[in-house]
Structure 1
Amino acid sequence: MEPVRSGCFCAFILFLAVRLRAADCAKVIVGDPFKIPISCEPGRLLRDLGDDGTREIATGQSGQWKVSREEDRDRIKIDSSNIVFTHTLYTDGGIYELTCSTSGTKETIQLEVVVASEKSVTQGDKVTLPCYFKTIRGTGLPGWWERNGNETPADRLTVSTDWITTGDLSLTIDGAQPEDSGDYFCYTQDGKRSGNPAAVRLTVTEKKSHQIISSTAAPGNIFTWVLAAILLVLIVALLYLWCCKLRNDRVKL
């Protein structure tokens, strides 16, 4: 699946492995894999450290790419066409530059690593995914949600109509289904502001057949117990009346 791109617009790419092109800005959840395509050889992948200069992440020459630092080799791997961060760290966020020595071209990747809130519910439950923005005097940019790279449909999903006033853009899903599982991001129209939390990972567990049977049978069980209690009271009452009758008969004798 092709990545979402729009110039310097920070597209929220929610794939488990994110593929990028030049001048892309991506968000990835901490701990998820992250891929940077290798488009040339020889070349270098550098990370911009700001005032501290740059750090070499990987180099490619003589038909082979390799990870530069020994301490990175346990979690950064090279396959036939990608540099793969197998387990993205929060500190991996920043600007990366892939330089092709032969052509002199450069590809810039701005990576933001975010922490996801996690929600787990059972099929059919209502669930609210939290998201808050700081708004000032009831003004702010329009905001919305995306799931797995696609804007969420309106069916069964609601947000507060006055979220710009309250700052609460939390998303409510009524009757969650297994296909609703995924990574949800909320953001403003210009894509420059993330909500708090920046992402929510939702897991919807399918309701098992025995759960459905037990839940539907519950009202019947209650009725059975009520009926049994009534019968027990009647039996006790009849026994009491019978005992009273026997006592009266003995007195007469």
Structure 2
Amino acid sequence: MHEAPGRHSGKTMARMLSVFTLVLLHRVLQASGKLVYVFLADSVDLSPNCAEERFLLVHSPAHNPSTSDTVATRINGVWTPGEKYRSRTEHSSTSSLILLGVNYNDQGWYESECGSSSFIPAVKLRVFVANVSVYENETLKLPCHSLTADRTFDSISWERNGKTVFKLDVSSSKISYGTGFEGKVFLSRDWFSEGDLSLMLKGVRLEDGGDYFCNVLHKGGREKEVVDAVRVNVNKRRDRDQVNCTLSPASKVPEEKAQKSWVIVYIIIAAVVSGTGCFVFGWWLKSRSSTRGPCDGKYSGVETSPEVSSSNHEETGI
């Protein structure tokens, strides 16, 4: 028995409508979902707001949203991780779901099904990788780049741990600073022509560490767009006095030995110089005594002629 053409086309239309409804629901859930920002290797809380016995969480990668992988399911209070997430989920209770060691491929949409027909708005995960370390009192550049050609902005801002660090009102060129950052932070003069929204931070303090987010608000937009983020670790600088104070006694021994060695060298040099001086002085005295001296040359070892002696007396008037 053949099916009537009209009935066949009606089923086809019903299937198409069902697929369209699912796609539309998918888009609505994504649009109504929230953005979650996390740094590489951190953990993220994906705990469901679902009291039903059955719960399903799937991941649609950012690079290929048409595919999905099961992250975990919960049935009657028992969690079962998906094939790719066997060692990457943690549960402190039946309502807790933590994704461990986030990697770059974890970006994308996380969609949940609560019960048999109840859907929960999706979560969009974005992973940042910039992690810099700096010593206190140094100057630090926080990198951020965005397309600025043929685009208009209401504002550009940087935030740390949810609080304003720097904000530029593009139309008025007015700059606002967060507490403690007055005169310490600035953008490049060529930020618009080069698309460089990086923030320079001078005289970094220990308390300046944290997660910094670079945001732009497009003309006519309602919500800020997070362009990039940087995690900053500030290390305490150790001055020379601190380094010297921490030297172990063993490290000072070579220096003491060197000082003693120099003292010995000085003593040897002084002894050599003194001995040489005494020798020269004695030789000089001996050479003086070899000529005629007092007592008619008795010390010379050669007799003086009487004639020479008398003539000398006559010449000197003695």
Shorter-chain TM range is 0.5 to 0.7
Deviations 1:176-232 (A, max 9, x none): 1111111222121143462xxx22221111233656798xxxxxxxxxxxxxxxxxx
State the distance in 2 between where 1:119 and 1:89 align.
18
CA RMSD, Structure 1 to Structure 2 (Å): 3.1
State the distance in 2 between where 1:211 and 1:34 align.
43
Q: Secondary structure at the match of 2:46?
A: strand
State the distance in 1 between where 2:66 and 2:189 align.
45
> Which structure has the highest strand share of the two?
1
Q: 2:224 maps to which residue? A: 191
Residue 40 (structure 2) pairs with residue 43 (structure 1): no
Q: 2:144 aligns with which of 131, 137, 155?
A: 131
Moved more, 123-132 or 96-105: 96-105
Residues 1-253 of structure 1: pairs in structure 2 closer than 5 A: 23-40=33-50, 41=52, 42-48=54-60, 52-69=66-83, 71-80=84-93, 81-101=95-115, 104-116=118-130, 118-136=131-149, 139-152=152-165, 153=178, 154-155=181-182, 156-160=184-188, 162-189=190-217, 190-192=223-225, 194=227, 198-208=228-238, 210=240
State the distance in 1 between where 2:88 and 2:208 align.
30
2:134–2:234 Cα contact (<8 Å) kept = yes
1:123–1:178 Cα contact (<8 Å) kept = yes
Tell me the TM-score normalised to structure 2 length. 0.53
> Which structure has the highest helix share of the two?
2
RCO greater where, 1 or 2, for CA within 8 Å and sep 6 or more? 1
Unaligned stretches of 5+ residues in structure 2 = 1-28, 166-177, 218-222, 245-318
Deviation at 1:35, TM superposition (A): 0.9
Q: Secondary structure at the match of 2:102?
A: coil
2:30–2:123 Cα contact (<8 Å) kept = no
Deviation at 1:72, TM superposition (A): 1.4
Q: Secondary structure at the match of 1:91?
A: helix
Deviation at 1:97, TM superposition (A): 1.0
Deviations 1:79-136 (A, max 9, x none): 22421111001111111112210672413101122321x3222111121212222211
Moved more, 139-148 or 79-88: 139-148
The 3 A distance-change label for structure 1 pair 211 and 188 is: farther
State the distance in 2 between where 1:148 and 1:82 align.
25
The 3 A distance-change label for structure 1 pair 170 and 212 is: farther
2:69–2:82 Cα contact (<8 Å) kept = no
Q: Please tell me the residue identity of whatever aligns with 1:142.
A: S
1:30–1:89 Cα contact (<8 Å) kept = yes
2:157–2:216 Cα contact (<8 Å) kept = yes
Q: 1:247 maps to which residue? A: none
Deviation at 1:53, TM superposition (A): 4.1
2:74–2:80 Cα contact (<8 Å) kept = yes
Q: Secondary structure at the match of 1:164?
A: helix
Deviation at 1:38, TM superposition (A): 2.4
Q: Secondary structure at the match of 2:138?
A: coil
State the distance in 2 between where 1:204 and 1:103 align.
49
Q: Secondary structure at the match of 1:37?
A: coil
State the distance in 2 between where 1:51 and 1:88 align.
18
Tell me the TM-score normalised to structure 1 length. 0.65
